[in-house]
């Protein structure tokens, strides 16, 4: 498959910020469209969309409004919700000692994970895109951690990181490098979690690889004939051509990092985002409050308020990324 | 990368007390192949396997089919609101999944779906995953319009174009989605846990969790757990290996085609 | 449209499939006076099997007992879902905290009147401290205690011998414990003492045993209906000793991952481990290579220990209170006597069932465990392991914000006051 030539610019902005027609050139002029009877198309379109629309209403719109209501109540799941206005938000921003640390943990995770995941994913994809023996095996191996059941593999990492008998420190000892407390120290806990998340970098790689394979090989050949070195080819041809997918990747990885849950939940020593609050990401904090450990009462109202804050954080971060990136995303002149 | 599987395999082959040797030994000194028989027995493996197959099978079919339908509409039909719906669907990817847990639990409970498989399957039939809709739309965009023009000239309606023209040529896309949907549904744990009261309706993912105890002095039987776990993850692995070559092809639509 | 029809067909057939599957639900009272009593535990598959086995001895022509399976790893999520769906089984394993909270919301059947009558299964048939703790402020008893935990110090006899220290025994002091930890650490152990109970969010309660033993005030005046938390001079002295121990490396710091502590202790990697008597059951099956013992918690002047019991609760909407109470009685009085001999996890709260537990310990030669548990159960000065209140998770967050940093020396001891002040605010705002 080759890259379809496209005539618009800056359209790679992710499909996220819901707005408007900005940057999307009209296609009114296309002949095939005008021949169509509009009303029959509209009817057919809504018939085809019907299941998704019903699902969207039931599983996105309804919970969203419902949780917006809960966010304004005190609700423990045992007795009826009690309306308390903005108290949940007040508590979150002023008295809750865990809120700001959890914002910090979440952002730290994003800052560490997203660039590393993109860089390593792309590097592996470039390597796997070569015509070499064994590449397909490597590709499969890289993707393997993504296919395995998450809980089992993360539990394994917990063994690896055990400071006393874990594999990680044994290897460091053997290499005469200083050992670490890994998940048991507030400073190294988030980086350790990032390592575990990067272990599933195969999902990033495979999308990059798909993009790379769609770059027409003639372009590479032409560049090589012009005497361009591998570095020039990568930065002047490959990177610009895959920039739309890069945008998608940035968004996907950000969502992954902002919604990280399994890793901190399973890896933190207390299962609550410890030590201290160091790995209590917003997502985990929401879960802790909504579904606390045995013997504690749920705070559905407060958790719903946190959900809304997380949702807004995600939307703002992604929108900012999209706006910022529209400056550097490739606009087509190569083909 | 292969290390975890090897490690699971060695644990699966160890005896009950050898699991906790410190420092851990890489190779078991005696092989307990019986773990692969005894482990599954603990959780009624065959019945749970059947449950998992039914639940996952239906979710995959539903999720892929309705996403393909939505993708078709969004990519190849011109209608007012097309762009809005596209952004709305894709934007819902950003919504943290916990939002739904409490309201949906109450919804399903109120309509009498508690302790049935319906909460696990029906959402898939209602366009379950926005990522799939996005993927489907992108893939449909990469197909030349001349193809449906030709079909239209032959007098085909949208249903026929979708079923007999589009589905065959979008094979990589729906195979990719199927792999992803399979993994998600097969490994889903929290939903079946909270919706299914009766253990005879459990899928394997919940059954697996009964090995691990968090209470009072019960050391989990890690060896039996890992042995069963290997069997548990065999189907997703097999599906991935078999369909692997379509996978990259299917994903390639994600980036090469711009968001027209 | 054809799609839709087919889709609907698939859905219908799926629905039909589900409808025909056996209906779980909670108990049912059939018209002929026969009743089914459902039961849910958090035990492992092996223990559940033993319980099922023991339940076959329950003979009542009108009552069928049915155990509901649940993966014990996420028992709390399951419980939350069942509570929401109003589908709680007739009998379910619960902690003292759940019992208190649910009772105050009117969710549980109150057994108080039944327990006050019967001589063979009345309040006096149980260890008195448990009954006292399971009663709510207004005299309701939403569940019956089943097993009690005793906390103490597991020690590695070989490590103590190698370091030339006498092994801990009843009456030993906190100073002796920290001394031993320092010596064992100097002898090469990574940490001389691992005490998650002191460094986790339960820490302030565990350390109250120090203050209580020295005649000071505990962290909270009550775990059920606290009015305030305090840190007095004696308490601060105890914290200072823990801080010193962590600083020197003798005591494992907050954040130490305890998920493998049992295995590490058994492998001789942890010479002293603050934990509960329940490890004995695991050791009996795993057979550690080291020689080990179990000592009571250290003291300053008089013994003081932690109180912790679990039990069995019944929802208020149970269909068959009579049948359920019969099964409950059988569980507490007889089932444990059949399950505990093979797996001595904890002492039963029902007094006449205790001999089965201690008999099993004696038979296995775990004399230090038996004597420490006996001592723990008879210690008059106790404090609960954690708050059982509705707002407990809020106070936990405050403890997390201060306690680990104070123990690590990152925050001054004076911040203990800041912590209690803020917790007192939470107590006040929740009335």
pLDDT digits (tens, 9 = 90+) for A155-191: 778 878 888 777 788 888 888 888 888 998 999 999 9
Chain A positions in Cβ-Cβ contact with residue C257 (cut-off 8 Å): 158, 162-163, 183-184, 269
Residues of B in contact with A240 (CB under 8 A): none
pLDDT band for C253, please (50, 70, 90 cuts). very high
pLDDT band at A20 (very low <50, low <70, confident <90, very high): very low
Tell whether B200 is within 8 A of chain C (Cβ). yes
Interface contact A36-B162, CB threshold 8 A: no
List CB contacts (< 8 A) between C202 and chain A. Answer: none
Residues 240-259 of A with CB under 8 A from B: 242, 244-246, 248, 255, 259
Query: What pLDDT sits at residue C258?
Result: 83
Is the pLDDT at A69 greater than 90? The verdict is yes
CA dist B211 → B29, B187, C112 (Å): 24, 16, 36
Write down the domain spans for chain A: 97-325
- Give the orientation angle of helix B45-76 with respect to helix B82-91, to 10 degrees: 150
Contact B1 A145 (CB under 8 A): yes
Task: Please state which of the ranges A119-128, C108-117, C180-189 shows the lowest mean pLDDT.
Answer: C108-117
CATH homologous superfamily of C151-304+391-429 equals Periplasmic binding protein-like II (3.40.190.10)
**pLDDT per position as a tens digit, B102-146:** 888 888 988 989 889 999 999 999 987 888 998 898 889 888 888
pLDDT in tens, C147-185: 999 999 999 999 999 999 999 999 999 999 999 999 999
Q: What is the pLDDT of residue A38?
A: 57
Asked if residues C305 and C296 have their Cβ atoms less than 8 Å apart, the reply is yes
- CA distance linking residue C41 with residue C44, whole number of Å: 9
Torsion of CA B13, B15, B16, B22, to 10 degrees: -90
Residue C2 confidence class, pLDDT cut points 50, 70, 90: very low
* A276/C404 CB distance under 8 A: yes
Instruction: Give contacts of A98 with chain C, Cβ < 8 Å.
Output: 397, 400-401
pLDDT value at B85 more than 80:
yes
Q: CA angle, B10 as apex, B7 and B11 as ends, to 5°? A: 85
Sole residue written with tokens 């909504």: A290
pLDDT tier for residue C32 given thresholds of 50, 70 and 90: low
Average pLDDT for A231-242: 85
- For residues A227 and B21, the model is more confident at A227
Considering only the beta carbons, identify the residue of B20, B43, B54 that sits closest to C286: B20
Nearest CB neighbour to A15, from listed B66, B86, B145: B86
Residue C251 pLDDT level (bands cut at 50, 70, 90): very high
Is pTM beyond 0.80? Reply is yes
Q: What is the pLDDT of residue B17?
A: 62
Query: With an 8 Å Cβ cutoff, are B218 and C85 in contact?
Result: no
Is the Cβ pair C84, B106 closer than 8 Å? yes
Query: So what's the pLDDT on residue C147?
Result: 93
Are the Cβ atoms of A297 and C400 closer than 8 angstroms?
no
B contacts of C70 (beta carbons < 8 Å): 199, 210
C345 to B217: CB separation less than 8 angstroms, yes or no:
yes
Q: What is the pLDDT of residue A105?
A: 95
User: How far apart (Å, rounded) are the C-alpha atoms in residues A98 and A94?
Assistant: 10
Chain A residue with the nearest C-alpha to that of B141: A4
Q: What is the pLDDT of residue B44?
A: 85
pLDDT reported for residue A148: 81
How far are the Cα atoms of A62, B56, B185 from residue A54, in angstroms, in the given order? 11, 21, 21
- Least Cα separation, residue B201 to chain A (angstroms): 21
Mean pLDDT along residues B186-215: 80
Task: Tell me the pLDDT band of A328, cut-offs 50, 70 and 90.
Answer: low
Cα(C391)–Cα(A230) distance, integer angstroms: 62
In what side-by-side order are the strands of the sheet with C272-276?
C193-194, C272-276, C151-156, C292-296
How many residues would you count in chain C?
431
Q: How far B123 CA sits from the closest chain C CA (Å)?
A: 11
The correct CATH number of B44-214+226-256 out of 2.60.40.1080, 1.10.3720.10, 3.40.50.2000, 3.40.50.2300 is 1.10.3720.10
Q: What is the ipTM of this complex?
A: 0.84
Yes or no, beta carbons of A156 and B126 under 8 Å apart: no
> Could you give the percent of chain A with pLDDT greater than 90?
32
Nearest CA in chain C to B163: C3
What is the structure's pLDDT at A327? 54
Is B156 in CB contact (< 8 Å) with chain C? no
Contacts of residue B87, Cβ cutoff 8 Å, sequence gap at least 6: A15, A16, A17, A18, A19
- Determine, for residues B213 and C73 on separate chains, whether the beta-carbon distance falls below 8 Å: yes
- Is the pLDDT at A8 greater than 50? The verdict is no
Calculate how close chain A gets to C4, using CA atoms only, in Å. Answer: 9
Rounded to the nearest angstrom, the minimum Cα separation between B254 and chain A is 7
Mean pLDDT value across residues C118-144: 87
Domain A97-325 in CATH 1.10.3720.10? The answer is yes
Which among A209-213, B234-238, C237-241 has the top mean pLDDT?
Answer: C237-241
Flag if A153 and B4 touch (Cβ within 8 Å).
yes
Q: Is B187 on the interface with C (CB under 8 A)?
A: no
- Could you tell me which CATH number the domain at C31-149+308-378 has? 3.40.190.10
Lowest mean pLDDT: which of A309-318, A324-333, B220-229, C50-59? Answer: A324-333
Q: Do the bridges between strand C35-40 and strand C91-95 make them parallel or antiparallel, or are there none, so unpaired?
A: parallel
Whether A149 has its CB under 8 Å from any CB of chain C: the answer is no
Could you give phi then psi for residue C348, rounded to 5 degrees? -70, 150
Contact C226, C389 (CB under 8 A): yes
Picking from A8-12, A216-220, C322-326, which range would have the lowest pLDDT averaged per residue? A8-12
User: How sure is the predictor about C1, in pLDDT bands with cuts at 50, 70 and 90?
Assistant: very low
CA Rg value for chain B: 22
How do the domains of chain C map onto residue ranges?
Answer: 31-149+308-378, 151-304+391-429
**Among A82-91, A157-166, A227-236, where is mean pLDDT lowest?**
A157-166
Question: Across the interface, do C200 and A296 touch by the CB < 8 Å criterion?
Answer: no
pLDDT at C292 > cutoff 70: yes
Q: Is B194 in CB contact (< 8 Å) with chain C? A: yes
Q: Which residues of A touch C273 (CB under 8 A)?
A: none
- Yes or no, beta carbons of A211 and B240 under 8 Å apart: no
Res A321: pLDDT: 81
Residue predicted with more confidence, A132 or C241: C241
C71/B209 touch (CB, cutoff 8 Å), yes or no = yes
C-beta pairs of B84-88 under 8 Å, 24+ apart in sequence: B84/A18, B85/A49, B85/A53, B86/A15, B86/B137, B87/A15, B87/A16, B87/A17, B87/A18, B87/A19, B88/A18, B88/A56
CA distance B209 to chain C (A): 5
Q: Is the separation of the CB atoms in A280 and A288 below 8 Å?
A: yes
Number of other CB atoms surrounding residue B112 within 10 Å: 9
The pLDDT tens digits for B38-53 are 888 878 899 999 999 9
Task: Give the Å distances, CA to CA, from C272 to A40, B63, C173, C266.
Answer: 78, 54, 14, 11
pLDDT in tens, A106-122: 999 999 999 999 999 99
Q: What is the pLDDT of residue C11?
A: 42
Work out the average pLDDT over C240-260: 92
């Amino acid at each position: 498959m080759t890259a379809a030539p496209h005539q618009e610019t800056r359209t790679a902005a992710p499909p996220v910020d819901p707005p408007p027609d900005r940057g999307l050139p009209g296609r009114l002029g296309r002949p095939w469209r005008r021949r169509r009877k509009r009303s029959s198309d509209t009817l057919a379109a809504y018939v085809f969309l019907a299941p998704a629309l019903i699902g969207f209403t039931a599983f996105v719109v309804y919970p969203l409004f419902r949780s917006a209501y809960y966010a304004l109540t005190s609700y423990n799941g045992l007795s009826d919700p009690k309306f308390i206005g903005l108290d949940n938000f007040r508590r979150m921003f002023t008295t809750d000692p865990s809120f700001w640390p959890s914002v910090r943990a979440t952002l730290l995770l994003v800052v560490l994970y997203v660039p590393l995941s993109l860089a390593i994913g792309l590097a592996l994809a470039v390597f796997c895109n070569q015509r070499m023996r064994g590449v397909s095996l490597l590709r499969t191996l890289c993707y393997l951690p993504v296919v395995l059941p998450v809980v089992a593999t993360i539990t394994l990492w917990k063994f690896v990181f055990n400071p006393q008998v874990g594999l990680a420190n044994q290897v460091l000892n053997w290499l005469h490098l200083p050992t670490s407390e890994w998940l048991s120290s507030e400073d190294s806990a988030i980086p350790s979690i990032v390592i575990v998340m990067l272990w599933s970098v195969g999902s990033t790689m495979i999308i990059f690889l798909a993009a790379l394979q769609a770059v027409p090989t003639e372009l590479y050949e032409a560049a090589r004939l012009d005497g361009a070195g591998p570095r020039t080819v990568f930065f002047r041809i490959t990177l610009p051509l895959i920039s739309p997918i890069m945008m998608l990747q940035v968004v996907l990885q950000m969502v992954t990092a902002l919604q990280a849950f399994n890793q901190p939940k399973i890896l933190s020593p207390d299962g609550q985002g410890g030590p201290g609050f160091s790995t209590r990401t917003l997502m985990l904090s929401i879960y802790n409050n909504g579904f606390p450990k045995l013997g504690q009462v749920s705070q559905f109202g407060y958790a719903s308020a946190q959900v809304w804050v997380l949702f807004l954080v995600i939307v703002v971060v992604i929108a900012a990324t999209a706006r910022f990136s529209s400056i550097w995303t490739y606009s087509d002149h190569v083909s | 990368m292969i290390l975890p599987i090897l490690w699971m395999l060695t644990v699966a082959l160890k005896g009950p007390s050898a699991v906790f040797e410190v420092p851990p030994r890489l190779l078991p000194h005696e092989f307990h192949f019986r773990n692969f028989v005894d482990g599954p027995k603990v959780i009624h493996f065959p019945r749970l396997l059947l449950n998992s197959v039914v639940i996952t099978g239906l979710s995959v079919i539903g999720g892929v089919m309705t996403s393909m339908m939505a993708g078709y509409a969004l990519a190849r039909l011109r209608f007012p609101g097309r762009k809005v719906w596209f952004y709305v669907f894709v934007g819902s990817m950003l919504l943290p999944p916990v939002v739904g847990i409490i309201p949906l639990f109450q919804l399903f409970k109120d309509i009498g779906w508690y302790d049935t498989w319906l909460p696990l399957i029906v959402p898939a039939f209602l366009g379950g995953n926005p990522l799939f809709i996005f993927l489907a739309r992108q893939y449909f965009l990469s197909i030349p319009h001349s193809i449906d023009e030709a079909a239209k000239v032959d007098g085909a309606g949208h249903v026929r174009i979708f079923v007999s023209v589009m589905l065959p040529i979008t094979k990589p896309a729906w195979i990719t989605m199927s792999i992803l949907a399979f993994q998600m549904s097969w490994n889903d744990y929290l939903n079946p846990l909270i919706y299914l009261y009766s253990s005879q309706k459990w899928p394997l993912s919940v059954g697996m969790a009964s090995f691990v105890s968090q209470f009072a002095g019960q050391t989990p039987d890690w060896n039996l757990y890992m042995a069963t776990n290997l069997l548990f993850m065999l189907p997703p692995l097999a599906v991935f290996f078999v369909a692997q070559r379509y996978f990259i092809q299917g994903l390639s639509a994600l980036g090469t085609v711009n968001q027209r | 449209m054809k799609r839709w029809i087919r889709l609907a067909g698939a859905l219908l057939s799926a629905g039909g499939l589900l409808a025909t599957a056996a209906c779980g639900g909670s108990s049912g009272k059939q018209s002929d006076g026969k009743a089914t009593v459902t039961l849910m535990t958090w035990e492992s598959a092996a223990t559940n099997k033993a319980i099922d086995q023991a339940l076959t001895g329950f003979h009542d022509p009108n009552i069928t007992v049915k155990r509901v399976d649940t993966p014990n790893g996420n028992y709390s999520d399951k419980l939350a879902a069942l509570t929401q769906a109003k589908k709680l089984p007739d009998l379910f394993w619960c902690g003292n905290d759940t019992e208190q909270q649910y009772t105050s919301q009117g969710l549980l059947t109150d057994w108080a009147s039944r327990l006050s009558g019967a001589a063979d299964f009345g309040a006096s048939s149980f260890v008195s401290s448990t009954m006292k703790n399971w009663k709510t402020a207004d005299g309701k008893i939403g569940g019956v205690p089943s097993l009690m935990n005793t906390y103490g110090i597991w020690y590695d006899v070989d490590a103590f011998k190698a370091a030339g220290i006498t092994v801990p025994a009843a009456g030993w002091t906190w100073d002796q414990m920290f001394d031993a930890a320092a010596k064992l650490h100097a002898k090469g152990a990574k940490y001389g003492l691992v005490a998650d109970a002191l460094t986790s969010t339960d820490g302030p309660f565990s350390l109250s045993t120090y203050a209580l033993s020295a005649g000071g005030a505990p962290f909270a005046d009550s775990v059920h209906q606290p009015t305030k938390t305090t840190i007095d001079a004696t308490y601060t002295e105890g914290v200072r000793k823990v801080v010193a121990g962590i600083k020197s490396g003798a005591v494992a710091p907050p954040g130490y991952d305890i998920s493998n502590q049992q295995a590490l202790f058994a492998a001789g990697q942890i010479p002293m481990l603050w934990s509960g008597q329940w490890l004995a059951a695991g050791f009996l099956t795993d057979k550690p290579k080291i020689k080990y013992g179990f000592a009571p918690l250290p003291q300053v002047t008089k013994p003081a220990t932690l109180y912790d019991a679990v039990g069995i609760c019944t929802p208020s909407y149970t269909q068959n209170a009579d049948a359920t109470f019969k099964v409950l009685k059988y569980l507490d009085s007889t089932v444990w006597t059949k399950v505990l001999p093979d797996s001595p996890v904890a002492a039963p709260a029902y007094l006449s069932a205790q001999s089965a537990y201690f008999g099993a310990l004696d038979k296995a030669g775990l004399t230090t465990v038996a004597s420490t548990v006996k001592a723990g159960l008879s210690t008059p000065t106790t404090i609960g392991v954690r708050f059982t209140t509705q707002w407990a998770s809020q106070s936990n967050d405050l403890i997390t914000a201060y306690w680990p940093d104070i123990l690590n020396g990152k925050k001054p001891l004076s911040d203990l006051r800041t912590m209690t002040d803020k917790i007192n605010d939470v107590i006040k705002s929740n009335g």
